[in-house]
């Protein structure tokens, strides 16, 4: 069970849980500070009840600095710098955030806090004395604000990091479990690869002279199966090989349609050292043929555009479909598996939108890819004799 389902109050990103979670934390922090400083500043002159009331209002005012610091750390410094291993930038931003919170606390201590004490403790002399003392001891006020900022900042950052690491660990465990299940299903279903490739090679050699188109189709299928069986056991494969597989698959489908399929494919010629999870895009293309073009009696078409912007890949896939095809056909197991793999492998680094119109099916995907050093030359795509 995923953490968001098991502990929704702690891990869920739904607004109702997030609001309750944050309110609970800040109310707890406010009341803890109020009780703590009411005891520290207690004197018999005004009584504990007045000191508690005064400390409650003061703690509420200091929350301005504390909330600003906590959210700056949790939603700016940690995700943008610390989690991306930019440690020097992290140290600089943490120092700036703490100093900024200390300065805000000092300003509050000199301006608003004396007014609160004058109102609650009903003594102007004490308020004036406090303002003079705060103004003449800015260094001490700054250190006090820094101490409070370090406390709340440390607590907020610890909670953020513990949640991040726990969710990441649970995601890795789930991914390992699903990979093991997928490998088990593959072992149950697959024919021994050596037998399969030997058989395909024999068919290729027998048809090379008598049926050149068929022999090229067999060779293309052999290349695809070899990629699926031998190279897809890695977490990532070169993007160029994944795109080659897509192009080979489309080419095979074109032969099946006997050139009646109108196909436009545009892919980048240079993919540099970018890598992608294997077989991530193939189900999207396969789905277009399965539920779209195969049901069209006249002018079936498909358009695939793949572009790169630094490490970000954009994919736009469109295909025509018969208006009588049910829309829920496009939400089959293949699409669901793609969505699930994207959530597990690229959390926060992707966006997949699917539009199912009356006569067209559109897939838009952007994906933040990783870079890996390429150690082997990429295989060239096979060339079909049918197109010569």
Residue numbers of the chain with a pLDDT score lower than 70: 1-6, 40-47, 121-137, 182-202, 205-206, 209-210, 213, 215, 230, 258-259, 291-298, 322-333, 373-388
CA 236 and chain centroid, separation: 17
Residue range 209-262, pLDDT digits in tens: 667 767 677 777 777 777 777 677 778 888 988 898 888 888 877 777 766 778
CA distance 111 to 18: 33
CATH of 232-387, one of 3.40.50.300, 1.10.3720.10, 3.40.50.2020, 3.30.565.10: 3.30.565.10
pLDDT of the residue at 382: 41
The predicted pLDDT at position 279 comes to: 84
pLDDT at 307: 93
Residue 350, pLDDT score = 92
Question: What pLDDT is attached to residue 386?
Answer: 37
pLDDT reported for residue 197: 62
Q: CA-to-CA distance for 79 and 62, rounded, in angstroms?
A: 25
The reported pLDDT for the residue numbered 388 is 36
**What pLDDT does residue 183 have?**
65
pLDDT of res. 189: 53
Q: Check the CA dihedral 347-349-351-352 and report its sign.
A: negative
Q: Parallel, antiparallel, or unpaired: how do β-strands 350-356 and 237-238 relate? A: unpaired
- Which distant-in-sequence residues (6+ apart) come within 8 Å of 86 by Cβ? 80
Can you give the pLDDT at residue 72?
A: 93
Domain-by-domain residue ranges, the chain? Answer: 3-181, 232-387
Closest by CA position to 285, among listed 368, 375, 367, 363: 363
- Across the chain, mean pLDDT equals 77
CB 100 within 8 A of CB 66: no
How high is the pLDDT of residue 306?
A: 93
């Amino acid at each position: 069970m995923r953490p968001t389902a098991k502990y929704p109050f702690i891990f869920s990103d739904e607004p109702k849980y997030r609001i309750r979670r944050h309110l609970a934390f800040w109310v707890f922090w406010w009341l803890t500070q109020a009780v703590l400083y009411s005891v520290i500043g207690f004197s018999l002159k005004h009584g504990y009840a007045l000191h508690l009331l005064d400390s409650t209002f003061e703690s509420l005012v200091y929350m301005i600095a504390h909330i600003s610091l906590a959210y700056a750390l949790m939603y700016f410094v940690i995700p943008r710098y610390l989690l991306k291993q930019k440690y020097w930038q992290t140290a600089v931003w943490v120092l700036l955030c703490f100093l900024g919170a200390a300065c805000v606390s000092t300003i509050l201590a000199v301006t608003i806090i004396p007014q609160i004490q004058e109102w609650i403790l009903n003594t102007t002399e004490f308020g004036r004395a406090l303002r003079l003392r705060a103004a003449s001891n800015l260094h001490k006020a700054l250190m006090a604000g820094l101490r409070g900022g370090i406390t709340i900042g440390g607590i907020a950052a610890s909670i953020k990091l513990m949640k991040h690491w726990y969710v990441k660990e649970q995601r890795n465990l789930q991914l390992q479990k699903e990979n093991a299940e997928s490998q088990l299903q593959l072992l149950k279903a697959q024919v021994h690869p050596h037998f399969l490739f030997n058989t395909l090679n024999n068919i290729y050699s027998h048809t090379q002279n008598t049926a050149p188109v068929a022999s090229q189709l067999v060779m293309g299928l052999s290349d695809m199966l070899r990629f699926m069986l031998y190279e897809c056991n890695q977490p990532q494969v070169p993007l160029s090989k994944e795109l080659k597989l897509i192009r080979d698959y489309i080419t095979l489908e074109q032969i099946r349609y006997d050139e009646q399929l109108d196909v436009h494919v545009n892919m980048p010629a240079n993919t540099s050292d970018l890598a992608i999870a294997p077989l991530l895009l193939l189900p999207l293309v396969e789905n277009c043929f399965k539920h779209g073009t195969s049901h069209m009696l006249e002018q079936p078409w498909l358009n695939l555009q793949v572009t790169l912007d630094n490490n970000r890949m954009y994919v736009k896939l469109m295909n025509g479909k018969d208006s009588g095809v049910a829309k829920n056909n496009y939400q089959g197991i293949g699409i669901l598996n793609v969505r699930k793999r994207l959530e597990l492998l690229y959390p926060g680094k992707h966006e997949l939108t699917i539009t199912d119109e009356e006569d067209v099916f559109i897939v838009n995907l952007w994906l933040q890819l990783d870079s890996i050093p390429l150690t082997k030359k990429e295989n060239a795509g096979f060339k079909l004799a049918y197109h010569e």
